[in-house]
Amino acid sequence: MNTRAHERHRRWLQKAGILTAALPYMQLYAENVLVIKIGGNALEEAENDLAAHFAHDVVLLKQVGIHPVIVHGGGTQIDRFTEKLGIEQQRIKGLRITNQDTRDCAAMVLASLSKAIVGLLQQAGGKAVALSGQDASLMTVKKLVVMKDKTKGNIDLGFVGTPNKVEPSLLFLLIEAGIIPVLAPIASDSKGEIYNINADAFAGALAVGLGAKRLMLMTDVAGVKDTQGQMIEELDEKNIKKLIKDGAIKGGMLPKIDTCLEASRGGVTSVILDGRVPHTILLELFTEAGVGSLIPAQEKR
């Protein structure tokens, strides 16, 4: 066998080994729903093709019989758009204070991002459709109650909603038709008032409502870290409370952890992943060790 043929043979054996190792995990997740939340930052990493890798990986999941449902954020893009319009932005505990102008800007930006993700998925060979929580009343929300801050007192977050009810029938129809749903975290309350929802919370409620096998939150950090800065591979509620008390979990990670805990109580295993790593979804799902911080589903009593 000449050198070139030997190298081809070596690559084929390597790929066969990867597929053999991945096959049991593909079978584990087959015909199950995965809710994957991607942040707006990851969609802008064109220089290292992260967005294209993400789209190809999601389409691959669909092709092997797994059913991905995509939820996306867009905080960076919303900040940029509102800054151009001179609309001041404020946050508390990782959540955006949203007046009517900010809400309307968020709705426009998120709709545009949904279409962009649909385009990426279709370029990768998949079929996708852009939706929001408003469509077919997929999700109804209620206004997020006023939050108490130790230094600023009570703070009204404005047009910020919290998930109240999920009606997943349309999503199941799309899934059965081979279509990947892409959802923007915008929804209405029972009176038709439109609210912006934290994308992590939106994804978590959707995962529970769909009975998803996994909730995957893609971030721009390497999972959850302890007080020494080391990534934690698996957490439970007791660990999480201690990490919050010690100050290791704070800021924008707090809503993500809250979402994971709610999903855990609802029977869904969650994982917080580093979305900056190419093929991070496949590495988490189809390798023994995984690559994120896992919060297992709690047993229902």
pLDDT digits (tens, 9 = 90+) for 119-155: 999 999 999 999 999 999 999 999 987 777 667 677 7
Rounded to whole angstroms, the Cα distance separating 262 from 168 reads 18
Q: Which residues, 6 or more positions from 126, have their beta carbon under 8 angstroms from its beta carbon? A: 55, 58, 59, 62, 180
Specify the pLDDT at position 15: 47
Residues in the chain: 301
**Phi-psi domain of 28 (left: phi exceeds 0; alpha: psi -120 through 50; beta: other):** alpha
Rounded to whole angstroms, the Cα distance separating 88 from 110 reads 18
CATH class given for the domain over 33-295: alpha beta
Specify the pLDDT at position 212: 95
Query: Lowest-confidence range among 186-190, 258-262, 286-290?
Result: 286-290
Average model confidence (pLDDT) for the chain? 84
Q: Is the pLDDT of residue 46 over 50?
A: no
Rounded to whole angstroms, the Cα distance separating 186 from 102 reads 13
Residue found by looking up tokens 């993500």 in the block: 256
Rounded to whole angstroms, the Cα distance separating 192 from 134 reads 9
Specify the pLDDT at position 86: 80
Specify the pLDDT at position 19: 54
Which percentage of the chain shows pLDDT scores above 70? 85
Rounded to whole angstroms, the Cα distance separating 38 from 58 reads 11
Q: Is the pLDDT of residue 200 over 90?
A: yes
Q: Is the pLDDT of residue 228 over 90?
A: no
pLDDT digits (tens, 9 = 90+) for 76-125: 788 888 888 887 777 776 677 888 888 888 899 999 999 999 999 999 99
Q: Which SS3 state, helix, strand or coil, does residue 166 take?
A: strand
Do the Cβ atoms of 267 and 234 come closer than 8 Å?
A: no
The mean pLDDT value for 46-60 works out to: 79
| DSSP annotation of 299 | P
Rounded to whole angstroms, the Cα distance separating 233 from 294 reads 6
